[in-house]
Structure 1
Amino acid sequence: MTWRLMSAFDSLNQSPFDILVVDDSHASLKLLVSILGKAGYRVCPANSGELALRSVQAKLPSLILLDIKMPGLDGYEVCMRLKADEKTRSIPVVFTSALDNEADHVKGFEVGGEIRHGHHP
């Protein structure tokens, strides 16, 4: 996952790349931050949808990795709010989730994100 994801966005020529990682699982958040940080990316962790939205307002990331299932604001709602805001709508959002059914994929695309399944540690 990490290699394909990083390769896909390396062409943007933004180095080091700013990535906001959003996940309510401490283990998942820690793992993604570690992997991406070691690869040379600047990573901002957020453990909730609310914190993610505040983080984005403080500093625009180049990419957002967003868990879907979280208490409070779930990933779909966070993505909808980001895509509704002219300032943040162009930020790519990749959902990181173990969810693997067609309805989740459709909903992810409908709110403006892309789903990468099977990547949730």
Structure 2
Amino acid sequence: MKRKATAVWNGTIKEGNGHITTASTVLDKTQYSFNSRFADGVGTNPEELLAAAHAGCFSMKLSLDLTEAGFKPESLETESTVTLEDGKVVLSRLSLKAKVPGIGDGDFQEIARKAKDTCPISVAFSFPIELEAVLL
């Protein structure tokens, strides 16, 4: 399986701007700029896209792992916060709120840790990943 996205950038780093388009067109010429990355400008940025990918991948992997363990997840809400410091991504922090009927907290924490360590996006990252998992 291969997935594609295209980024176009015009101009200098501070005055320029660009747009990102995914093959599915979920992102369709979605703007990004210096201000959307380093200030509060309108548009997306690479770190936000990493966070979205990580939250989505982890949630799907956790759903798979829970199902394989005999549990039926009702809802998995994951927030990923990606930290950029000194020009490097240094951390992704996953915060999970889950409703999974019939599971104990110990089993839940173990399965969530496994999903954190083995989801394809986590495996691609070379920086630390933290997880706070709350069973509702």
* TM-score normalised by length of structure 1: 0.26
Which structure: greater helix fraction? 1
Larger relative contact order (CA 8 Å, sep ≥ 6): 1
Which structure: greater strand fraction? 2
* TM-score normalised by length of structure 2: 0.24
